[in-house]
Every structure is written in C-alpha cells, then in structure tokens.
Amino acid sequence: PSHTGWKARRQVESLFYIPAQRVLTLRDGWPRPFTDYKPGDPFAVREFSEKLRVLVEKEFGARASLFPQKGRLKQEFRDMLQKSVFAKFGLRIDKVHSQKRLVLGAGDQPLPYMVWSAGQREFVPLLLGLYWLMPPTKVPKRGEIEWVVLEELEMGLHPRAIDVLLLMTLELVARGYRVCLSTHSAQVLEAVWALRHLKENGGSARALLAVFDAPQTQTMIKLAQTVMAKNLAVYYFDPASGRTKDISELDPDSEEAGEDGWGGLTEFSGRANAAVARAVANARRGKTE
C-alpha cells in the first residue's frame, strides 16, 4: 500500500496494540522508526515502535525527564513503579553529541540501554505506550481508541512489578478503554479471580487494593470502585480442539477441561501441592513413598 493509504488508515484506527515483542522496538535505547524494520517483520511491532518514536521525539521533545514525571500517571503508580521497576533510577533522554538515547539514572553517569535489566528493557516500551494511552489532561483517553490489546504484560517482570502493571491496566479500563490481555501468568488470572469473587460477594474497593498491596488513598479507592463495576471475562484457547472456551468462573473444581487448571497455568502448582500433601500424610503415618 502507498504511504498515503497507510496514513489514511492510521487516522481511523480504533485499536492500540502493544505486542509481546516490544523489547525489539528499542535500538541502542531509542525507538526504531517504522522504516527501520524488514518487510516481513510483524506490522504490530513496526507500528508500535513508530508510535513510541513519535511520542519521544515530538510530545516529549522538550522534556529530558520521562520518569518520574509530574502529571504522567497517578502519584501512587509512580511511587510503586519507583520501588518495583526503577529502584533509585529515573528514565530520561540523554544527548550524546547529536544523538539522543533513553538512559536510566539522574546523575552524571547514567546507565545506558546495554546495562539495563531484562525487566527494564521489557517495561520501558510498555510504559511509553501507557503514557500515550493516558494523556495528562482532563480528557481520560485517546478519543479514537476504543480497544487496547496488551500481549504478555508479565514478560521479564518481578511479581511486584506485575501487580503495578495490572493496576495500570485496570486504570485503562476505568478510563473507558476495552482491554484485551493475553497472558501465560497465573498471577494475572489470580487477580481476575479475586476481582470477580470480591464483586460477587460484596467485597470492598479497599479489599481489592489489598490484593495488589496498593496504597489505600481516595484516588486509588475511586479507581477500584470504578473497576469493580466493570465486566471481566477469561477465555482459553484449547490447542487440542482448536477452539476458544469461556473459563471466566476460574473454578478449580470444574469438570471442564481447561478451566480446572486455568488453561494449564496452575497445573504444576496443583501437582506440587498434591505431592507434598501425600508426603506429609505418609510421614504422619510413618510411611514413605
């Protein structure tokens, strides 16, 4: 397609896609342009990378500091991310001669991209994507975007960092986006399971925040209340049948294949628990297996 046709399609996009291969969008600490990729590379990666490049070059062009940045994200999110992802470092734009790069740190010796942890490399493109989706204005969302697809948010991240990202995903829902997550993490499904059961059993917004070990501030309580009024569903793609199943109940005692083990994500935990339970029972009876 022509460049003009490509621009026309961009103007009517209603979906923002954050791919699992987002770590590939940075080269030497800077987002790669659309044309930097090979023709056979996934379009979703190329498009996401181009959005990040435009964001940091135009919207952030006059700002050196990208994180923490007042007005970008709730203060509670910034505090939690500082602890779980960035430690004592911040994210900023650094200039080396005529070139720009993203670096971590606030002193005279910033950490370049090559020495970032795997989690930081995975997280920074995701953070910039969330920046784009959460404009620091009274307008809650990008008006033309209805759907956000986020692949494998858990990649490379510590469980505490996943907690924060799940909360930020709920912030997208609260802002009016329809969000679709793909995941290989039982932690993500545990969060959905907890939210569903708290909602069904009259649990409070404070109880939901406690699941994520989040601050019990009025801002966060309002977020939790908004999210608890939303509908959530979980689907499992069964490779044996080639069909998708609704396993939204996440019932471990279900007779439905795929739901009892949450699509295979809790099967190892179940086997480990069963093995340990048998060993403890046998030890108490003076037997060994």
pLDDT computed for residue 167 by the predictor: 96
Burial of 18 (0-12, 13-18, 19+ CB in 10 A): buried
CA dihedral 47, 48, 49, 52 (to 10 degrees): 120
| Distance of alpha carbon 237 from alpha carbon 264, whole angstroms | 11
117-129 tens-digit pLDDT = 999 999 999 999 9
289 contacts: CB under 8 Å, gap ≥ 6: 278, 279, 282
Written as tens digits, the pLDDT of the chain (289 aa) is: 445 554 555 566 899 999 999 999 999 899 999 999 999 999 999 999 999 999 888 887 666 788 998 888 999 999 999 999 988 889 998 887 678 899 998 667 888 899 999 999 999 999 999 999 998 878 899 888 999 999 999 999 999 999 999 999 999 999 999 999 999 999 999 999 999 999 999 999 999 999 999 999 999 999 999 999 999 999 998 888 888 999 998 888 787 777 888 888 888 888 888 899 888 988 888 765 5
pLDDT computed for residue 49 by the predictor: 95
Q: Are 120 and 85 in contact (CB under 8 A)?
A: yes
198 contacts: CB under 8 Å, gap ≥ 6: 204, 207, 208, 211, 228
Cis status, amide bond into 68, omega within 30 of 0? yes
Q: Are 279 and 286 in contact (CB under 8 A)?
A: no
pLDDT computed for residue 116 by the predictor: 92
DSSP 111: B
Scan for tokens 């969302």, then name that residue.
Answer: 141
Residue spans of beta strands (DSSP E) within 127-216? 147-151, 178-182
